[in-house]
Chains A and B, each alone.
Chain A
Amino acid sequence: MLKLTDVSKVYAKSGSKAVDGLSLDLKSGEIYGFLGPNGAGKTTTIKMITGIITPTQGKIEVCGVDISRDPEEAKRNIGYVSDSHIVYDKLTGREYVDFMATVYGVDPADKRKREEALVSRFRLADAYDSQISAYSHGMKQKINVIGALIHEPALWILDEPMTGLDPESAHELKTLMREHCDKGNSVFFSTHVLEVAEKLCDRVGIINKGRLIAEGTVEEIRGKTTDGSLESGFLTLTEEEDR
């Protein structure tokens, strides 16, 4: 589904590696939690997968398509929820979703069906025809999610999706992620909040200073610590690395 082989990124001028020799393999039906402290390289990795920036080295394949070979085809399989708000906030929610559907070439009938389901699920119907700029943070995040799912992507990527969501919305989002995977798709999301990963993920990867320092099921990571919590696993691992 998603395969990274020895991917590195050096930002021009900064010189140091923001991502260093990262390899990942994400299977269908899997939720993958990408964990790491601030500045670890999570956003950089996600931006390389989504084609926003190009890796300095290494290969990225989405559904078997090399992103550097055929970027449009690879991107068609991705739904991306970025860590910032929609910039087109002068559009209405409906216009934004229309735009995304057009760009991803979604069949109008499918679009209407999915749109209806998602909008009612997120209770966004009242605000759907008003300008996004008037939405609350949570509503903006929801319309972002609808835009990312309107083409039922095989790979759904979210960058710090839970930040600023109330518990109820966060729960909704998690349910949606689970359902998305149950249809045979995959979810890849980043977070620095551990509880999120603990309950939801089939597999987690821990990244620190650009390097993947541990990977496995939540159970496996727990096993590497004394008290058996993911949190202390996370702390021990990142600390060892810092020494």
Chain B
Amino acid sequence: MKNFKAVFSVILKSAFRRNKGGRGVSAIVAIVILSLVFGAYSLMTAFLIAPAFSMATDDGLGGNFSAFIVFITTIANVLFALIPLVTTLYMSKDNEILLALPVKSSTVFLARILYVYLTQLFFTLVMVLPMIVVFGVWAKMSVAFYFFMTLWCALAPFIALVVASVLAVPIMYLASLFKNKGVITSIALIVLFTVFFGAYYALFFNMNGSAFDPNNVYGALKPVLESITYPLAPFVAMGRTAVLSPETAFGTLGVVGAEAVNVAISLAVCAVAIFAALAISGFLYRRGVAFMLESAGVAKKNAKREDRKTSAKKRSILSVMMSREIKTLLRNTAFAFNCLGTMPILVVFAVVFSFSFSGDKSLGGFAFGTVYAMITGMAVSFNVGACTTFTREGEQFFLLKSIPVDIRVVIRAKHIVYSLITSIFYLIAEVATVFITRSSPLYVLGALPGIALIAGVSAMDMLFDLRKPKLDWITPTEAVKNNTNTLIPMFISLGLIVVLIGGFALGIVLLPAYSTFVGFGFTLLVAIVSLAVFVPILYNKGPAMIRAIE
């Protein structure tokens, strides 16, 4: 244990310190921006749901609702902890050197777990604290609510780490059966992620009539809340402690006794979770690291074999570079998850939004336009792949510069790949929207200006990344998260939603009968502008920008 502080501080410094040699903003700035965005989003959601929470407390379901919040927090943590856990524990580049030092592997393990826990805790609190405050004030809760909810949500990452460390085993094992383990792991995770978010959004928005009527929200939630008492008993025990009121807490001994039991159960659950998380992943840690270290060389060999295969087929250089881009993206689980995980979510959004907006009769013909603008705006802003394509190369970036391939071909391959991937999911989302909102099949044509916009904005994303790629990452997660190269383009793209909705609004004012097509035309205009501005810059200035990076 005596080296714990030294190891932990080295891990922290490596993760958060700004690289003085290169340019680039420190991770701290990126984290602050990210937490502001998430915090604001959480605050908005909190205001939407707070009335339902208040109704639930009046109905005596406040404890179950609180339990539900802790449960959702835990599930979200499982999903978001899984990748950081697997990558920081098993795929960190410093694993080798730490093994050569006279440090117990349990010390390294604890330092890494603490690091994962603290990052998870930070984002959990950013997401949950606004909600706790809004709910608490809205439903006039006692101090117990704020105290216990914060406590249980702060411990939720630990409960999640148990599940994540258990899930990591079958995922790694399953992956080891296949030749391309990264690909299988990536797909498994993306499916898991989509299912979770699908369920989450379906729960909150899939209602008859307007989605934002608190009565409907509560109506939909009530049966869920009533049914969780037994299946989620440990969480319900935690939830009950949160609705302690001064009357019950200081009232008759019987009630105090019951509440004390709930607190005790909750603490016991957390203690067991912490112990189990440490025991399970600790037990697997040394093996997992050995497994990853020894299989690294095999992956290299496979890559060589594939190189030979491809050259034998004499494919065009462009398609070789494109398949290289896709393979490197899919093989690295952290990359695939962060870059592609949002893609199925786009489809989920399209479905959920279509249902909730088409139910709102007051919107009339505007419903399709609104959903279309949101889906298009999200499609362009979800393009994490394009925003990190050079950063993800890491040390390979310099290799890329030295291979005897025209660098413009490399740029074109990347641009096509990321425009294509997003466009495929976007097209599915668009078709789903047309179908669910029962719009004219002609509206599928709206995908064309949308795809043009995706191509234009992808070029912008790549330029942002090329301006100052963050090549010196140690864990892959660092390359794709906390990265300002993804945040600024994302902001700009989200702003596009408003602009595009404006186009449809303009249509309603100018040509009510053809408002949707005016909206499409407007989107096309924006797309052409983005194509005309960013694509020439990317293709003409890109090679020089790449050469300038050393």
Contacts and interface: CB of A to CB of B under 8 A. Distances in A.
Interface of A: 11-14, 47, 50-54, 71-73, 75-76, 78, 80, 82, 86-91, 95, 99-100, 102-104, 130-131, 133-134
A106 to B, nearest CB: 11
B474 interface: yes
B20 to A, nearest CB: 4
Interface string B130-150: 000000000000000000000
A52 B297 contact: no
B404 to A, nearest CB: 22
A133 B19 contact: yes
A87 B295 CA distance: 20
B23 to A, nearest CB: 12
A130 B14 contact: no
A75 B96 contact: no
Contact of B96 (A52, A76, A95): A52
B99 A87 contact: no
A86 B21 CA distance: 15
A173 B464 CA distance: 43
Interface string B426-453: 0000000000000000000000000000
Contact of A14 (B18, B94, B297): B297
Contacts of A134: 20-21
A12 B295 contact: yes
Given A90-B13, A103-B3, A131-B20, A73 B102 contact: yes
A103 B101 contact: yes
A102 B290 contact: no
Contact of A133 (B3, B22, B93, B101): B22
B97 A82 contact: yes
Interface in B268-290: 290
Assign chain B's interface to a size class. 20 to 34
Contact of A52 (B7, B13, B100, B472): B100
Given A12-B291, A90-B17, A90-B19, 18 more contacts: A11-B298, A14-B301, A51-B99, A52-B96, A52-B100, A53-B290, A53-B293, A87-B93, A87-B94, A90-B13, A90-B472, A91-B13, A100-B101, A102-B3, A103-B6, A103-B102, A104-B102, A133-B19
16 contacts: A11-B294, A12-B294, A12-B295, A50-B100, A52-B99, A52-B100, A52-B293, A73-B102, A82-B100, A87-B94, A90-B14, A90-B18, A91-B10, A95-B13, A133-B19, A133-B472
Interface of B: 3, 6-7, 10, 13-14, 17-22, 93-94, 96-97, 99-104, 290-291, 293-295, 297-298, 301, 472, 474
A72 B290 contact: no
Contact of A87 (B19, B22, B474): B474
Contacts of A50: 99-100
Given A11-B297, A131-B20, A72 B102 contact: yes
A130 B20 contact: yes
Contacts of B3: 102-103
A88 B6 CA distance: 13
Among B22, B104, B294, B474, residue most surrounded by chain A Cβ atoms (within 10 Å)? B294
Given A103-B3, A134-B20, A72 B472 contact: no
Contacts of B293: 52-53
A51 B290 CA distance: 11
Contact of B104 (A72, A99, A104): A72
Contacts of A72: 102-104
